[in-house]
A = this chain, B = another copy of it.
């Protein structure tokens, strides 16, 4: 009689230790080892590691609405569901041969994955990971995002089309928008889910769509944006996800140039440029929009510059260490976490004083994802 009770008590004691609120947690991708560090923002600490996620190069992830589960999109086509409370893999499917990115529906019931091989989008039940829709495109798909109304938007590299998949009926109802431009390589949606913007390899502009229109029409923006691209080698394509609202403008890493572009958030015209230390990879606005933090392509990827939004001037520059790959702000912006890959560290900074508050050991850290993302659209 006694032993089962003791065993139960021990099990339950373990569970007690897991009685953790999930609002200030996060996951850090450890690319080389196919693992995720579980981190606590308030304690500035790692609190666990989840292993067995396969190839995590260029991996990203999204969170369930309750901030308990993460869905991890691996480059190898793996879709892995992890539980950050129990710190375990709770589901995994190899859903394609080569994939890039994913999204979760506004109601948290559907997870979509964007695939290169075979080209298309596959949509899965968020509970079971059973496939509920298969949308072949005969094209690599890029720029997959969620928008309100149980919809996903994505773009076809080969065909230059953007598709909207409406899942409200349970089956995918597709709206095709042609003539987005030649070879769209990435896309983003604004935080309100209204404006979808694609970057193009084959044209000297970007293309915007107003998703509030019944029939969104492609609209070229920033013509000449890539002029002078020959001037400097493009070591790393800028991530369009880096677009972020800073005051009344978006900030955009310029392609092949040592500068960031400022774009009016309302009419999407260029409003200014700021010279930077290197070719920007991410230009990320602090959540309040007052600062923009920029990291750079190899070989200048040991440096961060901070730009003030009011003056568009660089107000701070420092070298966290070799291989600064990613940045993530705390939800209200008082601190920022940096992945410094070749130092094997995640570093936490105060965004007001620029003081380093903590170093956390990590194995080749890359993407950092805080659970507050669960409540935002289009990430």
A→B interface (CB under 8 Å) = 1-2, 5-6, 8-9, 11-13, 15-16, 18-19, 21-24, 41-42, 63-68, 85, 106-108, 148-150, 168, 192-194, 212, 247-248, 266, 286-290, 310, 330-335, 352, 371-372, 374-377
Contacts and interface: CB of A to CB of B under 8 A. Distances in A.
Contacts of A12: 8-9, 11-13, 15-16
A186 B331 CA distance: 26
A290 B286 CA distance: 25
Contacts of A67: 21-24, 67
| The 4 nearest A-B residue pairs measured at CB | A12-B12, A23-B67, A331-B375, A21-B68
A377 B5 contact: no
A269 to B, nearest CB: 14
Given A41-B65, A289-B192, A377-B288, A22 B19 contact: no
A249 to B, nearest CB: 11
Contacts of A334: 106-107, 148-150
A175 to B, nearest CB: 16
Contact of A5 (B6, B19, B288, B372): B6
B23 A374 contact: yes
Nearest to A22: B21
A53 to B, nearest CB: 20
Contacts of A193: 288
A247 B194 contact: yes
B19 A18 contact: yes
A11 B5 CA distance: 12
A288 B15 CA distance: 38
Contacts of A5: 2, 5-6, 9
A108 B330 CA distance: 11
A3 to B, nearest CB: 10
B377 A287 contact: yes
